Amino acid sequence: MLEVAVQRRQGDFALDVAFAAGGGVTALFGPSGSGKTSVVEMVAGLARPDGGRIVVEGRVLFDGAAGIDLAPEARRLGYVFQEGRLFPHLSVRGNLDFGRKRVPPAERHLGFDDVVGVLGIESLLDRRPNRLSGGEKQRVAIGRALLASPRILLMDEPLAALDAPRKAELLPFVAGVARRFGIPILYVSHSMDEVLQLADTLVLMESGRVAAVGGVEQLLSDPSLKALTGRGEAGAVVAAHVAGHDDSTGITRLAFAGGTLMVARQDLAVGAATRVRIHARDIAIAVDRPERISVRNILSATVKDVTSGEDHVVDVVLDCGGCSLWAQITAHGQAQLGLRPGMRVHALIKAMTVARGDVAGR
């Protein structure tokens, strides 16, 4: 459990952030300059808030009013930096041991071999950091932070410095760490892809403030937050699990609260939890059930809300078995259909993306 309530002025920029996060992965998401890194640095003790309170697992790390401000070395947090920051004068093993040997043996709750195994860095132990690739460096940095037996892991855009293939290679490791070791993670990101694959809780930040806190599915499916969650990526996210595969037609069936979705064959085990992102522009709405149509995913839904947006676009929120779906149609279309809250309709889903891998924390 992490509770943060901090204020700080840096020149013209005022930071005033308050949120609480439970177990699993909490993503701090927002544009650059929104103060995400400052928040993480304050939690780690590398930056000092003007006032407020930071509590991790019941332990007060900072309390402006009570005059408590623990030194970074006394906070017992793991920090994975954007650029790795491995010690160049030590081998990989020396780096991994750096935090570990400063923890009393009785308090080391993660095994060296365990961590090294999950991160796949056994063969790198005797190398120097300058002989590692970017992805390998970050895996070692994650291992180094974990082996210090932290109460919470702070990750500040650990994938940002990597190219796309390396990112894809490292993401499963991060997800694995969250699942395997059960350590809460505060994950800073400005990539919606990473948030979708990793996060349980989402903290949306904008110019030094928290704009919204909530579950990933809930916040990403809320049209009123679309300016923050990314305009081009506007769409709903639903939690689903793999119901089965049909190899003859190359289809995987995903069950979610509102029914079943059919997607191209996924490399996931039956029963695996996953997340599906459906872009608002990929949903069409039909008042009558269409016959003889190529779209395979047609769900019955109820209109929850209709809002006219800019550029003759109308946002329609649909309720589909308790899940919110979000469609964008033209004002012209709305004029023809006359959608209003409470109406029974059919949602035609033309495309969707499956966040790969088992989603952490459920």
Site residues, other proteins (CB under 8 A) = 44-46, 71-73, 75-79, 81, 83, 85, 87-89, 98-99, 102-103, 128-131, 144-145, 148
Provide, rounded to whole angstroms, the least separation between the CB of residue 337 and other proteins: 56
Provide, rounded to whole angstroms, the least separation between the CB of residue 20 and other proteins: 22
Provide, rounded to whole angstroms, the least separation between the CB of residue 213 and other proteins: 25
Instruction: Between 46 and 168, name the residue whose CB sits nearer to other proteins.
Output: 46
Q: In this structure, what token pair is assigned to residue 312?
A: 């003759």
Instruction: Between 99 and 184, name the residue whose CB sits nearer to other proteins.
Output: 99
Instruction: Between 94 and 214, name the residue whose CB sits nearer to other proteins.
Output: 94
The span from the CA of 339 to the CA of 145, in Å, is: 53
359, 199 contact by CB (below 8 A)? no
Going 11 to 14 to 20 to 22, the CA torsion angle's sign is: negative
Provide, rounded to whole angstroms, the least separation between the CB of residue 79 and other proteins: 4
The span from the CA of 138 to the CA of 124, in Å, is: 12
Provide, rounded to whole angstroms, the least separation between the CB of residue 88 and other proteins: 5
Provide, rounded to whole angstroms, the least separation between the CB of residue 156 and other proteins: 11
Instruction: Between 86 and 283, name the residue whose CB sits nearer to other proteins.
Output: 86
* Residue located via tokens 């395997």: 180
Instruction: Between 145 and 316, name the residue whose CB sits nearer to other proteins.
Output: 145
Provide, rounded to whole angstroms, the least separation between the CB of residue 223 and other proteins: 39
Instruction: Between 143 and 223, name the residue whose CB sits nearer to other proteins.
Output: 143
Instruction: Between 183 and 268, name the residue whose CB sits nearer to other proteins.
Output: 183
Going 19 to 24 to 29 to 32, the CA torsion angle's sign is: positive
